[in-house]
Amino acid sequence: MKVGFIGLGIMGKPMSRNLLKAGHELLVYDVVAAHVEDLVKAGAGAGASSSDVAARAAVTITMLPDGPDVEAAVLGPDGVLEGAKPGAILVDMSSISPLVSQKVAAACARRGVEFLDAPVSGGEPKAIDGTLAIMAGGKQEIFDQVLPLFQVMGSSAVLTGPVGAGNVAKLANQIMVACNIAAMGEALLLAAKAGLDPEVVFNAVKGGLAGSTVLNAKAPMVLARNFAPGFRIRLHQKDLRNALLAAESMKLALPLTSLVQQMLMALMNHGRGDLDHSAIVTFLEDMAKTEIRKGATGGQAAD
């Protein structure tokens, strides 16, 4: 299958590599030329623009930071819809507002282009090893056509409903992840302040009901003080903002989501927006004047 891929950042680059490894003919485009060059060296073809990629591909995938980026890449000058032919498929794997997904889908329909919103969960590690969780919204028959591509990039792919449903499911996922990380931070801070080694407490609880994929992935990063971004705080803040806006439109209160979103905003204002979202715990550490650190007991002053 000839596939176009637009957006070669932390997630898009390894996802593209997995499509190449699976034998798909790949055309790529990114506003950062160096990212395109990396994929060309791996065997991809280079597109001159989003429009050029879409004109030459049966399926075009976009993986971009936020809704305005998707709108620019699809609806703007030299965008996907300037090049895509009727019957082509656009799969937006970005995490954006469901309302933006529906707007883009309506524009695609007017041009005879099929659309799926299919955001992912798993961060950079799962993008690299091809085990992302993919949550899609759109028509069953279009999902079925694209499923072989999803199976290369992810370990699970679920059609959750019509267009926009994929991003609703992703927002639900992001709420659970953010609140999980914040709760982990509070729990391990309690252990540290009580004089316990947080690593020992982590190992004690991870096999019980408190254990989770989030805990297993993020606690070791915190304990090692490794906040290299797999998924950036500023992007998680964007997701929670979109969740709160969607909730507001439905007159739905999400108090825990709102609280963690404020924590993320504070971290961004302290210059930590490009750290991994495991650094949510540093907001709590600042208040406690204590770090969650491997081998530390009795509490250790944070910087």
Catalytic residue among 103, 170, 218, 238: 170
Q: In sequence order, what are the beta bridge partners of 157? A: 134
8 A C-beta contact, residue 126 and residue 99: no
Count of CB atoms situated within 10 Å of the CB of 145: 17
Place of tokens 């996802």: 15
CA angle 107-112-115, nearest 5°? 60
Residue 32, token pair as written in the block: 């950062």
Going by DSSP bridges, is the β-strand pair 45-46/89-92 parallel, antiparallel, or unpaired? unpaired
Q: Which residues pair with 6 in a beta bridge?
A: 29, 62
Q: Is 170 a catalytic residue?
A: yes
Helix (H, G, I), strand (E, B) or coil at 195: coil
DSSP-assigned letter for residue 112 = T
Q: How far apart are CA 92 and CA 134, in angstroms?
A: 11
Residue whose entry in the numeric block shows the structure tokens 């936020």: 66
Rg for the chain, CA atoms, rounded: 20
Asked whether the CA dihedral 183, 189, 194, 199 is positive or negative, the reply is: positive
Q: Which two tokens stand for residue 79?
A: 């965008």
DSSP 225-280: T----SSBHHHHHHHHHHHHHHHHHTT---HHHHHHHHHHHHHHHTT-TTSBGGGH
Instruction: Residue 239: name the closest of 120, 90, 151 by CA.
Output: 120
For 142, the enclosing helix (H) or strand (E) is helix 140-153
Catalytically active residues are: 170
